[in-house]
A and B are shown apart, each in its own frame.
Chain A
Amino acid sequence: MDYVNAGLMRPLVTNSIVKNIIIGSEPTTLLQSKFPRLAKRTLALAWNVKRFGETVATDSIRGADGKLVQFPKMTYKDVVPPYYYEKLNVTQVDGYDRVFSESDKGNIEIGYFNTFRENLMMQIRELQARQIRAVELQAREVFTSGTVTPTSAPVIDFKRNAASIVPYSSAIDFSSPTVDPRILLEQLCLYCRAYGQSSDAKFDAYVAGDVYNAFINNPYIVKAEQFHVNELTDLDVTRLPTGAIAGKKVNCGSFEVTLITYPQVYTPVGTTDLTGAGKVPYIPSGAVWVTPRNTEFNTLCGAVPMLPPEIMATMPGWKPVGSVDGVFYIGEYLDVPRRSWWLTVESAQLTVPIAVDQMATAQVLAP
């Protein structure tokens, strides 16, 4: 039987956790996949936006002076991202007492150790997953309203143009037999082109499941299907790694739009229904979110509160474990009087639509 020396237990646990966190830290959800991470080591995160106007030159008289054109305008934006800081008590993890019992002082059976380690890894990965879900909800909110609402800081309003958020009306109801859904989708693409200055020809339309059903049953789409080999009801890909289901492409005017559903849900903060009935889809019922295939969005990752390592080294029980790409910071410390062994996960992340007009939202089914 294999044994692990009890004196090596803590560092072994620690090292294993870091390794597994790194393996599991890639973004795995659809909405934030539009916002690639950009890690910075500062509290506040800033960016500049300069928008050219697509203006046109006029001809000059030969011999005359050139015409003066200036590009002087710049918008500076600065924000402190929401800070996520969660911890778990290792002494409460299943198997802890068996592994660290007094009677086993010395050598510990590796089977017990592996079971305990897996329990611990799953729990700390869930802490990280909670923060990933929080970022996914940020993206949901940005797509919905252009804001992010932290619980411990003021609302962050990215000032989406009102024209980019189309409220429900019967004129755009995909379930209406007199409405061609392609017209609205083209308008949303045109918004991203004209106002958002996207040069893409390919767009992604994130749609709620009920919207997809209404779309494929819409008489205009059914009629158009008769002239196409590929059927809209035949999904291309069962499931993407991001959790999305890719549907067929459809031509909307000059644009190619890929319909993507996202049947993933989360448990809202403050609710306790974990059975599924109370869970909420990331894309709300009746919603359509259109973005160019290539966008200028980022998840900006700022610094978490750091303490000087030479001072922390003098603190009994403290041991910084490491960070994952400068995004998730893992810490560990012992609270001896309270007999607690804490593992922490910290991050400061914010989904930022830097090119804020490269997204358009519509409510196409009655709310």
Chain B
Amino acid sequence: MSNTGLYTQQISFEKIFLSGIVTEQWNYTNPTGTAISFSAGTVFGIIPGTAGTVRDTQSGSSDGSQAPYGMLLNDITVAGSATVTITLVVGGTVNQNKIIFSNGTDTLNTTVTISAVVFGTMSSLLTKGGIYAISDTIGDYYDNA
């Protein structure tokens, strides 16, 4: 074992999925040629017309996946152009502060439009689907690192 000085690791056990969780299995195909990673809590939407297939929700999409359906249960990395089975949380109470949109710009208040028709916001559509997002308060903080 080499001596590397002081090793420091900050760890968070903050829960994303809180209670009454319902999960489903879906397929995801990496549309790019390079590996892609998603963190638990990332929002996914169904691609209509491709049975059992979802992709990460982005408000700018037009394939139907811009309507949020569920949230990724675990961290995953998908190889380029690969298809994998993923587990989505599609119902229950979740931690609002841990919901992730893959493009980094969408929020729960982002408007969802399908075929030029406004269907609601990310938040309202998730709620309509049975995912109730509540806010938590973090009562501690990390040590200096």
Q: Please list the residues of chain A having a beta carbon within 8 angstroms of any beta carbon in chain B.
A: 43-44, 49-53, 55, 65, 67-80, 153-161, 356-357
Q: B130-142 vs A: 1/0 string, CB under 8 Å? A: 0000111111111
- Shortest B93–chain A CB gap in Å is 9
Closest to B144 in A: A159
Q: Which residues of B contact A71 (CB under 8 A)?
A: 138-140
Contact call A53/B139, Cβ cutoff below 8 A: yes
Interface residues of B in 81-99 (CB under 8 A from A): 95
Do A158 and B15 touch (CB < 8 A)? no
25 contacts between A and B (CB under 8 A): A43-B1, A51-B141, A53-B138, A53-B141, A68-B95, A68-B135, A68-B136, A69-B136, A69-B137, A69-B138, A70-B15, A72-B12, A72-B138, A73-B13, A73-B14, A73-B141, A74-B10, A75-B9, A75-B10, A76-B8, A79-B5, A79-B6, A157-B5, A159-B6, A159-B8
Instruction: Tell yes or no: B51 within 8 A of A by CB.
Output: no
Task: Tell me if B137 and A72 are in contact (CB < 8 A).
Answer: no
Minimum CB–CB distance from B127 to chain A (whole Å) comes to: 15
Q: For the complex, is B117 an interface residue (Cβ under 8 Å from A)? A: no
Contact B11 A76 (CB under 8 A): yes
Residue on A nearest B13 in the bound complex, by CB: A72
Verify B139–A55 contact, CB threshold 8 A.
yes
Distance of A225 Cα from B145 Cα, bound (Å): 43
A55, A69, A77: which contacts B7 (Cβ < 8 A)?
A77
B115 within 8 A of A: no
A154 touches B3 (CB 8 A): yes
What is the chain B residue whose CB lies nearest that of A150? B3
- Per the bound structure, the CA–CA distance linking A74 and B10 in Å amounts to 6
Distance (Å) between the CB of A208 and the closest chain B CB?
26
- Given A49-B143, A53-B138, A74-B142, 13 more A-B residue pairs with CB atoms under 8 Å apart are A52-B139, A53-B140, A55-B137, A65-B134, A68-B18, A68-B136, A70-B137, A73-B141, A73-B142, A75-B8, A75-B10, A77-B7, A357-B144
5 A-B pairs with least C-beta separation: A72-B14, A49-B143, A75-B143, A154-B5, A159-B144
**Interfacial chain B residues near A155, Cβ < 8 Å:** 5
Residues in A with CB closer than 8 Å to B50 are none
Q: Residues of A contacting B134 with CB < 8 Å?
A: 65, 68
Whole-angstrom CA separation of A75 from B144 in the bound complex: 8
Please state if A70 and B136 are interface contacts (CB–CB under 8 Å).
yes
Establish whether residues B8 and A68, one from each chain, have CB atoms under 8 Å apart when the complex forms.
no
Assuming the A-B contacts A153-B5, A154-B5, are A160 and B138 also in contact, with contact meaning beta carbons closer than 8 angstroms in the complex? no
Q: Which residues of the other chain, B, contact A51 by a CB distance below 8 angstroms?
A: 140-143
Residue of A with least CB distance to B134:
A68
Residues on A with C-beta less than 8 A from B137 are 55, 67-70
Closest residue of chain A to B137, judged by CB? A69
**B139, A70: Cβ atoms under 8 Å?**
yes
Cα of A44 to Cα of B5 in the assembled complex, Å: 10
Q: Are A73 and B138 in contact (CB under 8 A)?
A: yes
A67–B137 Cα distance when bound, in Å, is: 8
| Residues from chain B with Cβ under 8 Å of A357 in the complex | 144
Q: Given the known A-B contacts A72-B138, A79-B5, are A161 and B11 also in contact in the complex, defined by CB atoms under 8 Å?
A: no
- Complex CA distance for A73 and B13, rounded to whole angstroms: 6
Asked whether B138 lies within 8 Å of A70 as measured between CB atoms, the reply is yes
Do B140 and A161 touch across chains, with their CB atoms under 8 A apart? no
Chain B residue with the shortest CB-CB distance to A81: B3
Given the complex, which residues of A lie within 8 Å of B145, measured CB to CB? 75, 159
Q: Is B4 an interface residue (CB 8 A)?
A: yes
- List the B residue with the shortest CB-CB distance to A76: B9
Within 1-56 of B, Cβ neighbours of A (below 8 Å) are at 1, 3-15, 18
Task: Among A68, A69, A74, A155, find the residue whose CB has the most chain B CB atoms closer than 10 A.
Answer: A68
- Contact A73–B12 (Cβ < 8 Å): yes
Provide the residues of chain B in CB contact with A76, threshold 8 Å: 8-11
> In the bound complex, how far is the Cα of B2 from the Cα of A153, in angstroms?
9
Q: Which of A50, A53, A153 contacts B3 (CB 8 A)?
A: A153
Q: Are A161 and B138 in contact (CB under 8 A)?
A: no
Return chain A residues, CB-CB under 8 Å to B8.
Answer: 75-78, 159
Report the bound CA distance from A357 to B15 in whole Å. 28
- Give min CB distance, A67 to chain B, whole Å: 7
A162: min CB distance to chain B, Å: 10
| CA–CA, A303 and B124, complex, Å | 58
Of the residues B15, B136, B144, contact of A356 by C-beta under 8 Å = B144
Residues of B within 8 A of A65 (CB): 134
With a cutoff of 8 Å between Cβ atoms, the chain B residues found around residue A52 in the complex are 139-140
- Contact residues in B for A72 (Cβ distance below 8 Å): 12-15, 138, 140
Rounded to whole angstroms, the CA-CA distance of A72 and B137 in the bound complex is: 10
CA distance A65 to B134 in the complex (A): 10
